[in-house]
Chains A and B, each alone.
Chain A
Amino acid sequence: MTLLNAVIFLPLLGFLIVMALPKEHHNAIRMFSLIASLAIFVVSLGVIGPVWSAAPGKFALETNQSWIQSPAINYHTGLDGISLWLVMLSTLLTPLCVLVSWKSIDKHIKQFYAFLLLLEFGLLGVFCALDFFLFFVFWEVSLVPMYFLIGIWGHERRIYAAVKFFVYTMAGSMLMLVAMIYLYIQAGTFDYSKILAGLQSGAISLSPTEQLWLFLGFFIAFAIKVPLFPLHTWLPDAHVEAPTAGSVMLASVMLKMGTYGLLRFSVPLFPNAARECAGWIVTLAIIGIVYGALVAMVQPNMKKLVAYSSVSHLGFVVLGIFSFTQQGFDGAVYQMLAHGVSTGALFLLVGFLYDRRHSLEISSYGGVATPAPWLSTAFMITMLASIGLPMLSNFIGEYLVLQGSSLVYFRWAVFAALGAILAACYMLWLYQRVFFGKASEDLTHHMPDLNFREHAIIIPLIVLMAWMGTYTQSFLPPISASNAVLLGPIDARREIHVRATPPSLTAPRLTAQPELALESKNAR
């Protein structure tokens, strides 16, 4: 029983306890959920040390126990630098989500908090699972509470959004299930580490066609979750209709399940297929970056705007991953976390506004800065972080991604940078329309400034944005170490599968001139 298992299963315990509490005691339920989720966060702090000191390429706090004998399925969990911060993000955001729902959730309170804790259980499991079957179990388990959170406590079109969200993800994950079982039949195990080692050493051999289909099976499931253009259409619906806590968990953590899956499974397991598909995947990612930003710009609804900005930001993550460079990988992971913090904060702030005005339309605001200066300040910092202003979190991630992708193919970086510019346009314009100008009498009346609870929610995130933007050494080393190991055999600069490479450009020269080599590949 490692500390990690305690972190994974405490939310489940919390869920069961909340379910057992009498439903009339609203405050007791809220207090319990808050204390429980805070306690889980505190416990989860303990996992940082072991991961930090673990040898690169090794998982810390591993548990590997037989769960089902035949087929051989193990309860195998562990943490490395890639999953560490995603786990921390989940445990940090859950208490904040409990707090933000304190007043705004007024019906079926017991079930709401129960589902929130169940969701945390699913998410933590996804990031810690090192067995494909276990991963799939958690992947699907996290779907159910989110479906209820959107469907029961959401806004008008909540049912449509919830069902769309569920069916979309389900369709993708079924393809992943086929790929997983196929891989199991080839490898004889569901164990991630064993399969990875087997594939890299050649003990498990897959034909190029098999690799391609398996890669696509996983890829579609992950791409739906990310979401990658053009599979993103469930996202705006789900975000707009979800309650604030649902939006936060969805944007900050759940979308990362997709990018995490790409980084952890798709790319390392099927590097050849990933490299072959990189061209069109990156194209889709860049389309997503620019398209997401452009669509965000014309949204009249704040939540929808933030949702489309997520499509844009997540495009950067995919771009980073499919650049197959150290910087790209590091940037991708960093961007996942930065996006989690900044977009989570944006959704929280939009939730604050909604609590006051009960509207998400930008047009029903204006001049909020006058009655609510603290709210406006918090929103401004968060918005600037989201744009990618230096000294704030997102800048690091975007910069690393752009650097990584420009190493491979300079034009990618140029197009992607467009997205960063557009981000400034839509965010600043949003800020201007909502916070500046003259406040109407009616608005001033209904716009108290942040109260203590809301300060408590937003300040930790703002501190984190500044911290992540200024002192990356607190976060980046374990990420880089783990990425380096993953990247080792598949580095962009080490050609392994470029059939069209002219004979004159042989391997030794490639190491010296990476750009050239990949250019020839893309010219194919």
Chain B
Amino acid sequence: MPVNFMPTGTDYLRILPEIIMTVAGTLIMLIEGWLGDDKKRNLAWLTFIAFAAALVAAVMANASPGSSFSNMLIVDGFATFFRVLVIAVGILSLLSAVQYLKQEHAESAEYYALLLFSVTGQCIMATANELIMIFIGLEISSIATYILAGYLRDDKRNNEAALKYFLLGSFATAFLLYGIAWIYGTTGSTNLAVIRNVLLSGGSDRNMILAGTAAALMFVGFAFKVSAAPFQIWAPDVYQGAPAPVTLFMSAGPKAVAFAVFLRVFMTAFAPITNRWEPLVWSSALLTMIIGNFAALMQTNIKRLLAYSSIAHAGYVMVAIAAHNQIGVAAAMFYLAAYALMNIGAFAVVTHFSRQGEKFVNIEDLAGLGWKQPVTAGLFAIFLLSLIGVPLTGGFFGKFYIFKAALDANLVWLAILGLLNSAVAAYYYLRVLVVMYMNEPGEATLSIQPVGAGIGTTLWVAAVGTLLLGIFPGLLLNFANNSSALVK
């Protein structure tokens, strides 16, 4: 059969979001030369428009699902879900960055361009149906994020964060690439569906061992990206060192989409050898939850605390992957959306509170915030309660659904230990609440400025989203359930 390699109109529609964001990012870099320093802020609007257009395009593309470019990309509900999620994360992190960049005197166009490129990479990852595309998307997203992490180049902590992130990230990507090479050698393809079929048709024991090793190597790469144990070491340092709005972005977007790829690869290509990787994911999930939660108990820096909490939450999502069933996929999707919202909210508060040079990032600094700025603190309380997993918040329902998936898959012990872990987690989140509401205001709180428009919007959007997901989870859950069948 003759193969037509010419892309059609539908093909372009299916990657329209990526096109829009790439063009906008490139334009921003070009325009920058002509703009005076005081005008660069306006580029934020252009970025915002590009994101909004990409969001619309992603939703439109969902109307004509299918694969494009010789099966390299696939647009399905799952891809759309994560595309919309990462673009939304992009918008919210843009909103909370504007004021921060102004106060740090660092309003250059690169920030916006890098943000756009990073989200573009993530969108490619979300739609990738093939290992090389996954790798390309991952690199686009990661390299942009490495630079963002070290964005304030005169700041020592930024430099440390960027370097650490870059070195360890490259190391992990090498593992991923090595895994891709192995699986290509074993099955002769990098296409997920083809790999699946080859593995399904069985083969010699040796081939299965090779495939299992490839899965393990790729697991290392993904586990690094989602900060799952034992590859989580980088996360606290990088989260603490990077500029607060970048941490906000890193902890939500790249993480969510890394999970998306993780799910897609392991639930399609490696589904035939589930019994080989399930114990790996199982133990990693447990370890991640325990390390994240127990290490968070001892933190005094709020960014570091949220970094460990983000490790712990990665552990919960790993539980959903360990369940390796369709409910698990839907649960992971729902949880990642809820997590993105509540975590963005929490980091937006940190961004707002830390002030110039990130002077106030200790938990103790938040003392009395509840009485000084009741609205900000109230919204922060909603995010913290959601992170704890108190009902009527998205965090609770996500957790509920994940552990339901685990019990469906008969992982009773993992569910029990995971939920007990979240009781431990309550302790350190409560500490923040205690400081905010039960201590007298200190220097940091008394000198606080009103919340800016950008961060204010982010906070409200995140809070309303968190509550909506908690009270009417059906809004998102039905979509997640309908698009959780990854094997076509």
> 0/1 per residue, A181-194, Cβ < 8 Å to B?
11011000000000
> Taking the complex as formed, is A151 at the interface, i.e. its CB lies under 8 A from any CB of chain B?
yes
* A163 contacts across to B, CB distance below 8 A: 427, 430-431, 434
A114 to B433, CA, bound (A): 17
Asked whether B419 lies within 8 Å of A144 as measured between CB atoms, the reply is: no
Asked whether B438 lies within 8 Å of A141 as measured between CB atoms, the reply is: no
A14 to B396, CA, bound (A): 25
Asked whether B423 lies within 8 Å of A170 as measured between CB atoms, the reply is: yes
Given A137-B391, A177-B419: A185 touches B434 (CB 8 Å cut-off): no
* B422 contacts across to A, CB distance below 8 A: 170, 174
A138 to B391, CA, bound (A): 8
Query: Which of the residues B391, B407, B423, B438 comes within 8 Å of A185, measured between beta carbons?
Result: B407
Asked whether B427 lies within 8 Å of A167 as measured between CB atoms, the reply is: yes
* B433 contacts across to A, CB distance below 8 A: 151
> Taking the complex as formed, is B279 at the interface, i.e. its CB lies under 8 A from any CB of chain A?
no
* B473 contacts across to A, CB distance below 8 A: 68
> Taking the complex as formed, is B27 at the interface, i.e. its CB lies under 8 A from any CB of chain A?
no
A74 to B68, CA, bound (A): 42
* A177 contacts across to B, CB distance below 8 A: 400, 403, 419
Given A136-B391, A144-B390, A152-B438: A185 touches B426 (CB 8 Å cut-off): no
> Taking the complex as formed, is B231 at the interface, i.e. its CB lies under 8 A from any CB of chain A?
no
Query: Which of the residues A71, A141, A184 comes within 8 Å of B391, measured between beta carbons?
Result: A141
* A144 contacts across to B, CB distance below 8 A: 385, 390
Asked whether B391 lies within 8 Å of A181 as measured between CB atoms, the reply is: no
* A167 contacts across to B, CB distance below 8 A: 423, 426-427, 430
Given A162-B434, A167-B430, A175-B416: A185 touches B408 (CB 8 Å cut-off): yes
Asked whether A171 lies within 8 Å of B437 as measured between CB atoms, the reply is: no
> Taking the complex as formed, is B172 at the interface, i.e. its CB lies under 8 A from any CB of chain A?
no
Given A159-B434, A163-B430, A175-B416: A71 touches B390 (CB 8 Å cut-off): no
* A152 contacts across to B, CB distance below 8 A: 437-438
A135 to B371, CA, bound (A): 32
A152 to B430, CA, bound (A): 13
Asked whether B412 lies within 8 Å of A182 as measured between CB atoms, the reply is: yes
Query: Which of the residues B412, B419, B426 comes within 8 Å of A166, measured between beta carbons?
Result: B426
Query: Which of the residues A70, A138, A141, A174 comes within 8 Å of B419, measured between beta carbons?
Result: A174
Asked whether A181 lies within 8 Å of B477 as measured between CB atoms, the reply is: no
> Taking the complex as formed, is B415 at the interface, i.e. its CB lies under 8 A from any CB of chain A?
yes
Query: Which of the residues B371, B390, B427, B481 comes within 8 Å of A140, measured between beta carbons?
Result: B390
Asked whether B430 lies within 8 Å of A178 as measured between CB atoms, the reply is: no
* A158 contacts across to B, CB distance below 8 A: 438
A141 to B481, CA, bound (A): 27
* A138 contacts across to B, CB distance below 8 A: 391
> Taking the complex as formed, is B420 at the interface, i.e. its CB lies under 8 A from any CB of chain A?
yes
> Taking the complex as formed, is A148 at the interface, i.e. its CB lies under 8 A from any CB of chain B?
yes
* B437 contacts across to A, CB distance below 8 A: 148, 151-152
> Taking the complex as formed, is A85 at the interface, i.e. its CB lies under 8 A from any CB of chain B?
no
Expressed in whole angstroms, the minimum distance between the Cβ of B249 and any Cβ of chain A is 30
* B408 contacts across to A, CB distance below 8 A: 185
- Contacts between chains A and B (CB distance < 8 A), count: 85
Asked whether A71 lies within 8 Å of B404 as measured between CB atoms, the reply is: yes
> Taking the complex as formed, is A147 at the interface, i.e. its CB lies under 8 A from any CB of chain B?
yes
Expressed in whole angstroms, the minimum distance between the Cβ of B392 and any Cβ of chain A is 6
A396 to B38, CA, bound (A): 80
Which residues of A, 438-482, contact B by the 8 Å Cβ criterion?
none
Query: Which of the residues B390, B400, B407 comes within 8 Å of A143, measured between beta carbons?
Result: B390
Expressed in whole angstroms, the minimum distance between the Cβ of A219 and any Cβ of chain B is 15
* B481 contacts across to A, CB distance below 8 A: 70
Residue of A136, A158, A170 with most chain B CB atoms under a 10 A cut-off: A170
Expressed in whole angstroms, the minimum distance between the Cβ of B322 and any Cβ of chain A is 16
> Taking the complex as formed, is B478 at the interface, i.e. its CB lies under 8 A from any CB of chain A?
yes
* B357 contacts across to A, CB distance below 8 A: none
> Taking the complex as formed, is B230 at the interface, i.e. its CB lies under 8 A from any CB of chain A?
no
Query: Which of the residues A159, A181, A182, A184 comes within 8 Å of B438, measured between beta carbons?
Result: A159
Asked whether B477 lies within 8 Å of A147 as measured between CB atoms, the reply is: no
Expressed in whole angstroms, the minimum distance between the Cβ of A424 and any Cβ of chain B is 39
Q: Which residue of B lies closest to A158 (CB)?
A: B438
Q: Which residue of B lies closest to A19 (CB)?
A: B378
> Taking the complex as formed, is A108 at the interface, i.e. its CB lies under 8 A from any CB of chain B?
yes
> Taking the complex as formed, is B474 at the interface, i.e. its CB lies under 8 A from any CB of chain A?
yes
> 0/1 per residue, B468-488, Cβ < 8 Å to A?
000011100110010000000
> 0/1 per residue, B402-441, Cβ < 8 Å to A?
0110011000100110011011001100110110011000
* A140 contacts across to B, CB distance below 8 A: 390-391, 396
Given A178-B415, A185-B404: A68 touches B420 (CB 8 Å cut-off): no
Which residues of A, 166-220, contact B by the 8 Å Cβ criterion?
166-167, 170-171, 174-175, 177-178, 181-182, 184-185
Given A70-B478, A141-B390: A147 touches B419 (CB 8 Å cut-off): no
Query: Which of the residues B392, B426, B427 comes within 8 Å of A141, measured between beta carbons?
Result: B392
* B477 contacts across to A, CB distance below 8 A: 68, 70
A144 to B433, CA, bound (A): 11
A133 to B396, CA, bound (A): 12
Asked whether A171 lies within 8 Å of B420 as measured between CB atoms, the reply is: yes
> Taking the complex as formed, is A69 at the interface, i.e. its CB lies under 8 A from any CB of chain B?
yes
* B407 contacts across to A, CB distance below 8 A: 178, 181-182, 185
* A133 contacts across to B, CB distance below 8 A: 400
* B420 contacts across to A, CB distance below 8 A: 171, 174-175
* B412 contacts across to A, CB distance below 8 A: 178, 182
A144 to B430, CA, bound (A): 10
Given A68-B473, A69-B478, A108-B371: A170 touches B426 (CB 8 Å cut-off): yes
> 0/1 per residue, B299-329, Cβ < 8 Å to A?
0000000000000000000000000000000
Residue of A151, A152, A174 with most chain B CB atoms under a 10 A cut-off: A174
A175 to B419, CA, bound (A): 7
Expressed in whole angstroms, the minimum distance between the Cβ of B332 and any Cβ of chain A is 16
Query: Which of the residues B390, B400, B427 comes within 8 Å of A181, measured between beta carbons?
Result: B400
A178 to B417, CA, bound (A): 10
Asked whether A181 lies within 8 Å of B404 as measured between CB atoms, the reply is: yes
Asked whether A181 lies within 8 Å of B426 as measured between CB atoms, the reply is: no
A159 to B390, CA, bound (A): 19
Which residues of B, 220-265, contact A by the 8 Å Cβ criterion?
none
Asked whether B430 lies within 8 Å of A171 as measured between CB atoms, the reply is: no
* A185 contacts across to B, CB distance below 8 A: 404, 407-408
* B426 contacts across to A, CB distance below 8 A: 166-167, 170
Which residues of B, 27-81, contact A by the 8 Å Cβ criterion?
none
Residue of A69, A141, A147, A178 with most chain B CB atoms under a 10 A cut-off: A178
* A171 contacts across to B, CB distance below 8 A: 420, 423
* A184 contacts across to B, CB distance below 8 A: 404
Query: Which of the residues B385, B438, B472, B478 comes within 8 Å of A151, measured between beta carbons?
Result: B438
> 0/1 per residue, A9-35, Cβ < 8 Å to B?
000000000000001000000000000
A170 to B437, CA, bound (A): 20
Q: Which residue of A lies closest to B371 (CB)?
A: A108
Q: Which residue of A lies closest to B434 (CB)?
A: A159
* A148 contacts across to B, CB distance below 8 A: 437
Asked whether B478 lies within 8 Å of A178 as measured between CB atoms, the reply is: no
Residue of A140, A143, A177 with most chain B CB atoms under a 10 A cut-off: A177
Asked whether A147 lies within 8 Å of B430 as measured between CB atoms, the reply is: yes
A148 to B403, CA, bound (A): 28
* B474 contacts across to A, CB distance below 8 A: 68-70
28 chain-A/chain-B pairs, Cβ below 8 angstroms:
A68-B473, A68-B477, A69-B474, A69-B478, A70-B474, A70-B477, A70-B478, A71-B401, A71-B404, A137-B391, A140-B391, A143-B390, A144-B390, A151-B438, A158-B438, A159-B434, A162-B430, A167-B426, A170-B388, A170-B423, A170-B426, A174-B419, A178-B403, A178-B407, A178-B412, A178-B415, A178-B419, A185-B408
The 5 closest A-B CB pairs, nearest first, are: A174-B419, A137-B391, A171-B423, A170-B423, A140-B391
17 new A-B contacts, CB < 8 A, other than A141-B390, A162-B434, A170-B388, are A69-B478, A71-B401, A71-B404, A136-B391, A138-B391, A140-B391, A141-B392, A143-B390, A151-B438, A170-B426, A171-B420, A175-B416, A178-B407, A178-B412, A181-B407, A185-B407, A185-B408
